[in-house]
Amino acid sequence: MVKDLIEKQVIVVGAGNWGKNLVRNFHSLGALAGVAEAHPGLREAIATTYPDIATYEDFQSALKTDVAAIVLATPAPSHYELAMAALAADKDVFVEKPMTLRTDEARSLAEYADQQGRILMVGHLLLYQPAIAWMRDYLASGEAGQVLHVATQRLKLGKVRTEENVWWSFAPHDVSVVLDLLGNPKLQQVQAHGKAILQPNIADYVQADLRFQSGQSAQINCSWYWPLIQRSTVVIAQKQMLVYDEVQQTVTIHHKYIDTSLNHQDHGNEIVAVAASEPLKIECQHFLECVNTRQKPRSDGWNGVAVVEILEEAQKSLDG
C-alpha cells in the first residue's frame, strides 16, 4: 500500500482530456501538490474545482518547486524534452503513453533515469487493469502451457486525430499487453498495413503482425472508424485459450487445444471472476508506491522503450 500521503508530492503537467483524470486520481489519493497548464481556461477550471491546489502557468515554474515527482499528460511530441528536463531537475517522472515518438529518445530517457537513480514510469494503463494482471499471473503459472500467440482488437467509432494516426493513438495499450502476456520477448520483425480513409497519410485502420525471437507471435488490429466497439485480447497457448472481453469485462478460459496428433480437444470453458477496480487509480497508486519505496515500476522506462520500438518499426512498415 501507499504510505501516508499527507505530503503532497506530485505535480501534473497538462490538464486536458486525459490529464484531468490524472489530476482527479492523484488528488483523491492526497498526493496532488499542483497542476501546470498553459491554457488559461483549463487552468481556471482546475483552480475552481481544486481550490486547495497550486496552479502554474508553465512547466518551468513546476520544475522550480521542491515537489518530488512530475506527471506528464502533454502531447506526445513534447514527452522526450519535458521528461528529460524533469529527470535532470532530480524529479521522478510519470509520462503518458507513448513514452516518446522515437526509440533512441526512449532509450536515452531510460538510461538517464537509471544513471540518476530516478523513477521513470510510463502510462501503459492496461497493465494495471485487474483482468490483464490476472491473465499475466495465470499464464506465468504454466497452467495454460506455453503461450504461443496473442491477438488484440481495439476498434470503435472514436475521436479522429489530425496529428497522429490510429496506430500511435490506440496501439500503445495493446503493444504493452502483448509484451506482458508473452513474457517480454525480444522483437524480431513487424509487418503492418493500414488504410487512410478520412485524411491523406493518416491511417484510420492498422493491422500489425509481430514476430519475436522466442518464436512467439502477435497480431494487433486498431481503428477509430468502425461501427462497433470491439476491444478484446485473445491468448493462444498449448493447453488452453484465454479471451478477455474488455467491453463486457470478462475473462473466459477455453479448455481447448490441438494435440500433437492434430486432433481437436475441447473440455468446455469457464468465466473467471475478476475484481472490478479502476485501472487508473491502481496505476497512480503504483507510481506513488515506487516514488516512496524506490521499487521499479511495472511499466518502467525500459518497458516504454520496448513499446516504442514496436510502434516505430510498425510505422516504418506502414510507410513502406
Distance CA 265, CA 62 (A): 59
> What is the predicted pLDDT for the residue at 5?
41
Planar angle of CA 33, 77, 74, nearest 5 degrees: 25
pLDDT score, position 276? 78
3-state secondary structure string, 133-164? HHHHHHHHCCCCCCEEEEEEEEECCCCCCCCC
Confidence of residue 82 (pLDDT cuts 50, 70, 90): very high
The candidate with the shortest Cα–Cα distance to 293, out of 302, 282, 285, is 285
Beta-carbon neighbour count of residue 229 at 10 Å?
Answer: 12
In angstroms, the CA 25 to CA 18 distance is 11
pLDDT grade for 252, boundaries at 50, 70 and 90: very high
Could you report the per-residue pLDDT of 293-313, keeping only the tens digit for each? 999 999 999 999 999 999 999
The alpha carbon of residue 7 and the mean position of all alpha carbons in its chain are separated, in whole angstroms, by 27
Which three cell numbers, joined as nine digits, stand for 93? 517522472
Nearest 5°: the CA angle 281, 23, 310 is 65
- Asked whether 305 and 172 are in contact (CB, 8 A), the reply is no
Burial group, residue 233, by CB count within 10 angstroms (0-12, 13-18, 19+): buried
C-alpha cell at 127: 497493465
Q: What is the CA radius of gyration of the chain?
A: 20
Q: What is the mean pLDDT of residues 139-158?
A: 97
pLDDT tens digit string along 192-242? Answer: 999 999 999 999 999 999 999 999 999 999 999 999 999 999 999 999 999
Which set of grid coordinates corresponds to residue 104?
533512441
- Residues 46-71: what's their mean pLDDT? 96
In the predicted structure, residue 3 carries a pLDDT above the cut 60: no
End-to-end CA distance of the chain: 47
Residues 6+ apart with CB under 8 A from 24: none
pLDDT of residue 273: 86
- Average confidence (pLDDT) over 140-157: 98
The pLDDT > 90 percentage for the chain reads 95
pLDDT at residue 51 is higher than 50: yes
Q: Cell numbers 501516508 correspond to what residue?
A: 4
Tell which residue, 134, 125, 97, 158, has the closest CA to residue 244.
134
Q: Is the pLDDT of residue 4 over 70?
A: no
pLDDT at 153: 98
Give me the chain's average pLDDT, please: 95
Give the per-residue pLDDT at 57.
Answer: 96
pTM over 0.85: yes
273: left (phi over 0), alpha (psi -120 to 50) or beta: beta
pLDDT of residue 83: 98
Alpha-carbon distance of 35 to 20, in angstroms, equals: 10
